[in-house]
Amino acid sequence: MDANKSRKLSLMLVLLFQLPDDYGFGSSLVFPVTGNVHPLGYFAVSLSIGNQPRPFTLDIDTGSDLTWVPCDIACTGCTVPPGPRYKPVQGSIVYYEDPICSAIQGFTETTNGRTDRLCHFDRSYVDGSSVRGLLVRDIFYGRITGGTLPPSSLTFGCVYDIHRGQHSPSPTGVLALGNGAANICSQLGVENVIGHCYSSKGGGSMFIGNDAVPSSGVSWVPMSQNTGDKYYESGPADLLFNGNPTGQTDLYVIFDSGSTYTYFNSAVYAAIIDQLSKDPNGKPITQVPDPALPVCWEHAELSGVHFESFTLSFTGTRNAQLQLTLENYPTISENGNACLGILNGTEEGLQERNVIGDISMLDKLVIYDNEKKQIGWASANCNQQIGWTSANCNEQIGWTSANCNTCCSLNIFFHLQLMLLLCLLHNIK
CATH number at residue 227: 2.40.70.10
Report yes or no on 337 lying in a domain: yes
Is the same domain home to 145 and 46?
A: yes
310, 360, 406 from 327: Cα distances, Å:
11, 10, 32
Encoded amino acid at 21, one letter: D
- Return the pLDDT at 172: 75
Report yes or no on 252 lying in a domain: yes
Residue ranges of alpha helices (H) inside 363-411 are: 393-397
Is the same domain home to 207 and 279?
A: no
Is the same domain home to 206 and 223?
A: no
The model carries a pTM of 0.81
- Return the pLDDT at 171: 62
Is the same domain home to 317 and 335?
A: yes
- Sort 251 into a burial class: Cβ within 10 Å, 0-12 / 13-18 / 19+: buried
Is the same domain home to 205 and 230?
A: no
d(CA 402, CA 122): 39
250 part of the active site: no
Is the same domain home to 24 and 116?
A: yes
Residues in the chain: 429
Is the same domain home to 35 and 137?
A: yes
- Return the pLDDT at 53: 86
**Are the beta carbons of 409 and 10 closer than 8 angstroms?**
no
d(CA 284, CA 270): 16
Is the same domain home to 270 and 199?
A: no
**Are the beta carbons of 38 and 217 closer than 8 angstroms?**
no
Is the same domain home to 134 and 233?
A: no
7, 11, 20, 252 from 16: Cα distances, Å:
14, 8, 11, 50
Is the same domain home to 189 and 241?
A: no
Report yes or no on 384 lying in a domain: no
- Other C-beta atoms closer than 10 Å to the C-beta of 86 total 25
The sign of the dihedral angle between the CA atoms of 374, 380, 384, 389 is negative
d(CA 360, CA 311): 11
For 308, residues 6+ apart whose C-beta sits below 8 A from its C-beta are 241, 242, 243, 280, 326
Q: What is the DSSP letter of 300?
A: G
Give bridge partners of residue 368 from the DSSP assignment: 194, 375
256 part of the active site: yes
The average confidence (pLDDT) of the chain is: 77
Q: What is the DSSP letter of 108?
A: S
Report yes or no on 315 lying in a domain: yes
DSSP assignments along 71-105, one per residue: B-S--TT----SS--B---GGGBPBTTSHHHHHHH
* Residues of the chain predicted below pLDDT 50: 1, 3-26, 107-112, 387-425, 428-429
CA 337 to chain CA centroid, nearest Å: 28
- Return the pLDDT at 183: 76
Number of domains in the chain: 2
**Are the beta carbons of 104 and 135 closer than 8 angstroms?**
yes
Is the same domain home to 82 and 107?
A: yes
Is the same domain home to 149 and 63?
A: yes
Report yes or no on 176 lying in a domain: yes
Report yes or no on 46 lying in a domain: yes
Domain span at residue 50 reads 3-212+406-412
Nearest-10 crossing angle of helices 3-17, 412-427: 160
Phi first, then psi: give them for residue 308, nearest 5 degrees. Answer: -75, 160
Report yes or no on 393 lying in a domain: no
Pairing of strands 54-61, 174-176: parallel
Catalytic member of 127, 256, 363, 369 = 256
- Return the pLDDT at 220: 96
- Return the pLDDT at 376: 96
- Sort 84 into a burial class: Cβ within 10 Å, 0-12 / 13-18 / 19+: middle
Report yes or no on 334 lying in a domain: yes
- Return the pLDDT at 349: 84
